[in-house]
Amino acid sequence: MTTQTSKLKTNIIFFVMFVLLVFIDRITKIFSVNTLKEKPDIDIIKGFLQLHYLENRGAAWGMFQGARVIFIIITAIIIIISIVYLIKSDYTKGNLLLRIAIILLISGAIGNLIDRVLYTYVVDFIYVSAINFPVFNVADCYVCIAAALIIIYSLKSEDKAKDKGKEEEHA
């Protein structure tokens, strides 16, 4: 298989992954609006996890309320930079984790961007009451998982660089 064919296949897989992730986020938010907006919380695990409708006009955990335009601009910049990175990056197995993280990041960013544009707020609905954690949504999960994967990728890359440096010293 040629490199071009391999890149095309990889891009198609990542695009399908992106579409599926955004679709899951949208479906869960539509469910939330239609089911939870006018009703009390739904217990998933009593005393631990509930579905609770919330309109978040801020950023993470409701910080910076009312800064919608700034969030839209920052989100658009992050999405553009991420897409450019995906297009320009090499397709080695070594950066697969980073590429998956970026797809998750873009999917989460677009999921919340759609809310900000359509509703002027982000629909949140997952509430971990056992620790009184702020209400969040599926797109937020994508962004958090992406951040964790980027940290893991960075630590692994740093370890590889140290190992390579040690090999060069002993050569």
Top pLDDT among 61 and 162 is at 162
Residue 134 pLDDT greater than 70, yes or no: yes
**pTM for this model (two decimals):** 0.85
Q: Any catalytic annotation for residue 41?
A: no
Q: Report, as an integer, the average pLDDT of 18-33.
A: 97
CA–CA separation, 163 vs 165, rounded Å?
5
Element (DSSP H or E) covering residue 117? helix 96-119
What does the mean pLDDT of the chain come to? 88
Mind giving me the DSSP string for 138-164?
HHHHHHHHHHHHHHHHHHHHHHHHHHH
CB 51 within 8 A of CB 32: yes
Q: Any catalytic annotation for residue 140?
A: yes
Q: Report, as an integer, the average pLDDT of 50-79.
A: 84
Choose the catalytic residue: 43, 90, 140, 163.
140
CB neighbours of residue 73 within 10 Å: 11
Choose the catalytic residue: 43, 115, 124, 163.
124
Residue 75 pLDDT:
92
How confident is residue 80, by pLDDT bands cut at 50, 70 and 90? very high
Element (DSSP H or E) covering residue 122? strand 122-128
Residue 59 pLDDT:
72
CA–CA separation, 124 vs 138, rounded Å?
8
